[in-house]
């Protein structure tokens, strides 16, 4: 971990939305053998910050999110969400790559399904679901079934479902990975607008370098097999980022070049990757002269 040390004092840990310390997790895979999904992961998400976990496949990103949501427990290590052990519920919103809408319910009913965990009256629940569907631009599709919606619209419904509970932290597991490139960019802007409205903490998982830079305040680079924190960097691009051409900003370009090279190295150094040692690593080809401020926080 080249990242700077995380604050360890308890006073600081209260201001953290998410705090993971020395988290490891392995799964049984086949006969007696175990796959290590995460090894000694330490990271934090400050309140109101957008943190992205960036890493190639096989770095345990999804496992990490499920641990933060409280769906599974780590083998060892400490997990805290707003100072206490996480429990799945309306306080933690989770958005999945595969949308996971209930196919026999309308968009409206899908959002209401999540709201049932809150003590709301039926009219309040309906009103709130309607409001959040409107927020993601789907007022006209409230009575549509998921099969009638496009991929982007499905993810909007899923986003509305997660946001409708007004969670204190939003976890997003490659939410735009199965959406076409055009829609993805628009969805990123949409997400930024929604987030700017009410800045909850966000822990966003992606394997796209561009997506990570465009969205985040901080990027945590994860390495594969076992999943571990490699590096943590701040993204100091001005917000709102939809207001200007972020991608041509010098800092963006620099960060992108650096992260892409790191990502490639991680894949090439991964013995289980099909690209293992297929190419010389970037440290041999391109001199890493202008590394950005990789100091982390």
> What is the binding site for other proteins (CB under 8 A)?
69, 71, 87-90, 92, 94, 96, 98, 100, 102-106, 108-109, 113-114, 116-117, 143, 145-148, 161, 165
Closer by beta carbon to other proteins, 22 or else 134: 134
DSSP string, 64-93: HHHHHHTSS--SEEEEEETTB---SSTTEE
The answer to whether 262 and 230 have CB atoms below 8 angstroms apart is yes
Closer by beta carbon to other proteins, 112 or else 270: 112
The answer to whether 99 and 158 have CB atoms below 8 angstroms apart is yes
CA distance 205 to 58: 13
Q: What is the nearest approach in angstroms of other proteins to the Cβ of residue 117?
A: 4
Phi, psi at residue 81, to the nearest 5°? -120, 115
The answer to whether 45 and 259 have CB atoms below 8 angstroms apart is no
> Residue 80's beta-bridge partner residues?
19
Q: What is the nearest approach in angstroms of other proteins to the Cβ of residue 28?
A: 17
CA distance 131 to 138: 10
Q: What is the nearest approach in angstroms of other proteins to the Cβ of residue 136?
A: 17
Tell me how crowded residue 245 is: count the other CB atoms within 10 A of its CB: 9
Residues 6+ apart with CB under 8 A from 179: 151, 152, 155, 187
DSSP string, 141-166: GTT--GGGS-HHHHHHHHHHHHHHT-
Q: What is the nearest approach in angstroms of other proteins to the Cβ of residue 114?
A: 4
Tokens of 293: 């401020």
Closer by beta carbon to other proteins, 135 or else 229: 135
CA distance 53 to 168: 18
CA distance 255 to 119: 45
Closer by beta carbon to other proteins, 204 or else 258: 204
Q: What is the nearest approach in angstroms of other proteins to the Cβ of residue 211?
A: 22
Closer by beta carbon to other proteins, 37 or else 294: 37
Closer by beta carbon to other proteins, 109 or else 192: 109
Closer by beta carbon to other proteins, 148 or else 180: 148
Q: What is the nearest approach in angstroms of other proteins to the Cβ of residue 14?
A: 24
The answer to whether 58 and 70 have CB atoms below 8 angstroms apart is no
Q: What is the nearest approach in angstroms of other proteins to the Cβ of residue 147?
A: 4
Q: What is the nearest approach in angstroms of other proteins to the Cβ of residue 88?
A: 5
Longest dimension (CA), the chain: 63
Closer by beta carbon to other proteins, 98 or else 277: 98
């Amino acid at each position: 971990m080249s990242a700077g040390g995380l604050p360890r004092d308890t006073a600081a840990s209260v201001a953290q939305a998410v705090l993971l310390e020395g988290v490891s997790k392995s799964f049984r895979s086949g006969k007696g053998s175990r796959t290590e999904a995460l090894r000694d992961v330490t990271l934090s998400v400050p309140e109101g910050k957008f943190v992205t976990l960036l890493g190639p496949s096989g770095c345990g990103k999804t496992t990490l999110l499920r641990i933060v949501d409280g769906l599974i427990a780590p083998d060892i290590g400490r997990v805290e969400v707003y100072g206490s052990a996480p429990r799945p519920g309306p306080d933690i919103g989770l958005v999945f790559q595969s949308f996971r809408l209930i196919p026999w319910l309308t968009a409206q009913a899908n959002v209401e399904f999540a709201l049932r965990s809150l003590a709301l009256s039926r009219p309040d629940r309906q009103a709130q679901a309607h409001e959040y569907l409107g927020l993601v631009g789907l007022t006209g599709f409230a009575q549509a079934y998921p099969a009638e919606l496009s991929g982007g619209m499905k993810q909007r419904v899923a986003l509305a479902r997660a946001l409708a509970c007004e969670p204190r932290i939003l976890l997003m597991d490659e939410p735009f990975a199965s959406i076409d490139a055009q829609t993805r960019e628009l969805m990123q802007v949409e997400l930024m607008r929604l987030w700017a409205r009410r800045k909850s903490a966000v822990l966003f998982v992606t394997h796209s370098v561009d997506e990570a830079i465009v969205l985040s305040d901080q990027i945590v680079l994860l390495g594969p097999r076992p999943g571990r924190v490699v590096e943590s960097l701040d993204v100091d691009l001005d917000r709102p980022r939809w207001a200007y051409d972020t991608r041509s900003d010098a800092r963006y370009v620099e960060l992108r070049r650096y992260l892409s090279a790191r990502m490639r190295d991680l894949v090439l150094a991964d013995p289980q990757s099909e690209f293992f040692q297929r190419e010389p690593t970037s440290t041999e080809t391109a001199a890493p002269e202008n590394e950005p401020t990789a100091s982390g926080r």
